[in-house]
Structure formats: structure tokens, C-alpha cells
């Protein structure tokens, strides 16, 4: 489904305004209106980003926190896999050592 980038931009601007209003009129530290406005803003941004990519082949210079968390998770998994591979190589090296001869 292709979304008109102009319509997506208008939705993003409205979401920014609504988020600002929610933050400026916050009633408590955990005001659900701020959380809701945050979610709407994130969704509007993703729609706009997708519309730009589909129609113009362009992107914005921004990333959602979720995207960064996913990238960090992938990097952590890659590091863990690399560590496991190194451990396997280390274990292979130990297999050639005769521990009993070393103790004597």
C-alpha cells in the first residue's frame, strides 16, 4: 500500500503538535496522554518514512528508539556467537593437551 508522502507529512506534523500539547499539559509523571501521543507520533513517523522511501527512494536522518534497540540486540547476538565460536576453538586446543602428563 503506497501512502501519499504529503498526506503522511501532514499526519506527522499533526502528531508532533499533539505530542507537544500532551507534554505541555501533562498532569503527572506517568500521564497516559503523553504515552498515547508518543505512540501516535512514532506511528506517524514510520508511515512518513515508508512513504518517502516508496515514492522518492529517500529516508530521513532519524531513527526510532525501537530501531536502535533492535540494532543493539543484533550486535549483542553477533558478539555472543563470536564468543561461542572462540570458546569452541579454545576447547579444541585443550583437547590435545594431556592433563595427566602436565600434573606429574
* Per-residue confidence (pLDDT) for residue 92, from 0 to 100: 55
* Per-residue confidence (pLDDT) for residue 3, from 0 to 100: 87
Query: Would you say 26 and 34 are in contact if contact means Cβ atoms under 8 Å apart?
Result: yes
- At 4-58, the pLDDT tens digits run 999 999 999 999 999 999 999 999 999 999 999 999 999 999 999 999 999 999 9
Domain residue ranges in the chain: 1-62, 65-104
- At 64-86, the pLDDT tens digits run 887 766 666 666 677 776 666 55
Higher-confidence residue of 45 and 87: namely 45
Amino acid at each position: 500500500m503506497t501512502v501519499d508522502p504529503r498526506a503522511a507529512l501532514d499526519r506527522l506534523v499533526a502528531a508532533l503538535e499533539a505530542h507537544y500539547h500532551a507534554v505541555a499539559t501533562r498532569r503527572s509523571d506517568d500521564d497516559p496522554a503523553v504515552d498515547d501521543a508518543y505512540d501516535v507520533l512514532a506511528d506517524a513517523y514510520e508511515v512518513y518514512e515508508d512513504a518517502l522511501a516508496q515514492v522518492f527512494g529517500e529516508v530521513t536522518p532519524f531513527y526510532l528508539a525501537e530501531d536502535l534497540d533492535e540494532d543493539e540486540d543484533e550486535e549483542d547476538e553477533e558478539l555472543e556467537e563470536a564468543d561461542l565460536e572462540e570458546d569452541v576453538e579454545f576447547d579444541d586446543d585443550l583437547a590435545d593437551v594431556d592433563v595427566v602428563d602436565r600434573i606429574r
